């Protein structure tokens, strides 16, 4: 039986957070914390974490267990994908462990 694909909506704010993570990473050569993301977008650290969780489910960011705070990672493939994305659109979630 074939699994039904799940989709997540890429809202404008998720798209802006992804752009912010990419720019921050390029400028500073390390990833932003949830607190830095929250301050840049004027919302709570919890909301920043929830948005990053959805970006992770979409396969648009990766996470590293090596750092307690700066755990967001972008692979070259993810960085190359960012300019092709559009907000207000649904994208399939990645199949974790498949």
List the CATH number of the domain containing 74: 1.10.10.10
Residue 74 counted as domain residue: yes
Mean pLDDT along residues 17-33: 96
18 has pLDDT over 90: yes
Give a yes or no: residue 13 inside a domain. yes
- The answer to whether residue 31 sits within a structural domain is yes
Structural domain includes residue 22:
yes
CA 11/CA 90 separation, integer angstroms: 9
Range(s) of the domain holding residue 72 = 7-86
Please state the pTM of the whole predicted model: 0.86
| pLDDT confidence of residue 62 | 94
Q: Where are the beta strands (DSSP E) in 2-98?
A: 7-10, 62-63, 72-73, 89-92
Residue 59 lies in a domain: yes
Q: Is residue 95 part of a domain?
A: no
Helices (H), ranges, the chain: 12-28, 34-41, 45-57, 76-81
Domains in the chain: how many in total? 1
Answer whether residue 97 shows pLDDT above 80: no
Within a domain: 49: yes
pLDDT digits (tens, 9 = 90+) for 38-90: 999 999 999 999 999 999 999 999 988 777 778 999 999 999 999 999 999 99
For residue 94, is it within any domain?
no
């Amino acid at each position: 039986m074939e699994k039904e694909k799940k989709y997540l909506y890429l809202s404008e704010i998720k798209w802006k957070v992804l752009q912010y993570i990419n720019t921050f990473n390029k400028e500073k050569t390390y990833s932003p914390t949830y607190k830095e993301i929250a301050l840049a977008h004027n919302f709570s650290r919890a909301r920043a974490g929830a948005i990053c969780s959805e970006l992770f489910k979409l396969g648009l960011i990766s996470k590293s267990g090596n750092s307690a705070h700066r755990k967001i990672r972008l692979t070259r493939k993810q960085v190359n994908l960012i300019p092709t994305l559009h907000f207000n659109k649904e994208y399939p979630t990645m199949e974790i462990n498949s």
